[in-house]
Amino acid sequence: MKYRTIGTDPSTRRRVSVLSLGAMLFGTVTDEATSFAILDRYVEAGGTFVDTANNYAFWVNGTQGGESEELLGRWRRGRGIGDEIVIATKLGGRPLAASTTLSRDIEGLSAKVIREQSERSRERLGMERLDLLYGHVEILRAPLEEIVEAFGELVVDGAVGLLGASNHWAWRVERARALAAAAGLPGYEVLQYHHSYLRQRTDQPTLRSPDGNLGVLSGDTLSYLRAEPQLALVAYSPLLGGAYVREDKPLAAGLYHADTPARLAALREVAKETGASVNQVVLAWLIGAEVPAIPLVGASSVAQLDESLAAVDLDLTPEQRAKLDLRHPAG
């Protein structure tokens, strides 16, 4: 396993594995025995960075979520897991009532939600301090100043280690960080977005955003991360739910661009050169990128996880990266 540091303050920064494990479906779609086996294998391989949220996975059984956190809490207690494993969770996207559909009827972000739901997450996970807490969505129920203060106070009080933002516009992240700095409070240090080798369109309106898909890493956010290298990027759904390798999982419409065929051809060529799977090349490309990402992978079996773990040791050559990036020598 390879590792990197997230966060800048010596009292809260953490050393985490460059591959993160998503626990979104643990405790619902993925049964407890299988979930425990996957988690055990991940830790055995040196993995130290597990991701969940307070609303996972409400849509499966029509609840408000919390099943994933509860399972992780049982796993931590059963295995005697301490602070050697970094658990990241999120709040803001929990439905206000039991539901099976995504809608705007969610808790959003406010000081009340941040205080109360962070405490509920600590209870479910069995943790005195949350290692990393994200604001999950851009639904704001209160002024940004109030939200920044509430998050920052959790760190000051020792209830949270690091703060992050998931699915936020870049300008909102920057404004929140500026407000935190002006108030002398900790601010966002980790950003989480959908990001993969094939880039998805960000201009198409969504249920929660008429201006475009704020959950997808945009060129604006990528440029922001390039200028602020102390911020860490976590990339969710990097393998597109199996669409790179499964014929029964077609690419989403937003992934089709003029250069998509060329990029897919380059991906298959590099996979053939390296003897790795297409999925492994995607993960290696993300981990070693100029703006490096920590891929957040899901797994429904230990074998599936093992394929992703092997990508950590795949070092792409500069020539292979140039081929994948469609950068051709001049002349």
Number of independent structural domains in the chain: 1
**Residue 117, helix vs strand vs coil:** helix
> Residue 298: CB partners within 8 Å, gap ≥ 6?
21, 22, 24, 25
CATH number at residue 237: 3.20.20.100
293 domain-assigned: yes
120 domain-assigned: yes
189 domain-assigned: yes
| φ and ψ at residue 297, rounded to 5 degrees | -105, 145
**Omega within 30 of 0 (cis) for the link into 57:** yes
Residue that is written with structure tokens 């294998």 in the block: 41
Residue of 120, 71, 41, 88 whose CA lies nearest to 232? 88
151 domain-assigned: yes
328 domain-assigned: no
> Residue 85: CB partners within 8 Å, gap ≥ 6?
43, 48, 49, 50, 76
Range of the domain at 118: 3-255+278-317
96 domain-assigned: yes
Tokens for 219?
Answer: 């060129």
Q: How far apart are CA 43 and CA 48, in angstroms?
A: 6
Q: How far apart are CA 128 and CA 141, in angstroms?
A: 27
Q: How far apart are CA 58 and CA 69, in angstroms?
A: 12
- Predicted confidence at residue 329, as pLDDT, reads 59
Q: How much of the chain is helix, strand and coil, in % rounded to 5?
A: 40, 15, 45
> Model pTM?
0.96
324 domain-assigned: no
> Residue 157: CB partners within 8 Å, gap ≥ 6?
none
- For the chain, 331 residues long, the average pLDDT of each consecutive 10-residue run is 97 97 98 98 98 97 97 98 97 95 88 98 98 93 96 98 97 97 98 96 78 88 97 98 92 90 97 98 98 98 98 98 84 37
- Predicted confidence at residue 14, as pLDDT, reads 98
Residue that is written with structure tokens 């599936």 in the block: 304
Q: How far apart are CA 108 and CA 95, in angstroms?
A: 9
Q: C-alpha angle with apex 55: 54 to 60, nearest 5 degrees?
A: 140
271 domain-assigned: no
Q: C-alpha angle with apex 148: 50 to 219, nearest 5 degrees?
A: 65
Q: How far apart are CA 62 and CA 103, in angstroms?
A: 13
Radius of gyration of the chain from its Cα atoms, rounded to whole angstroms: 19
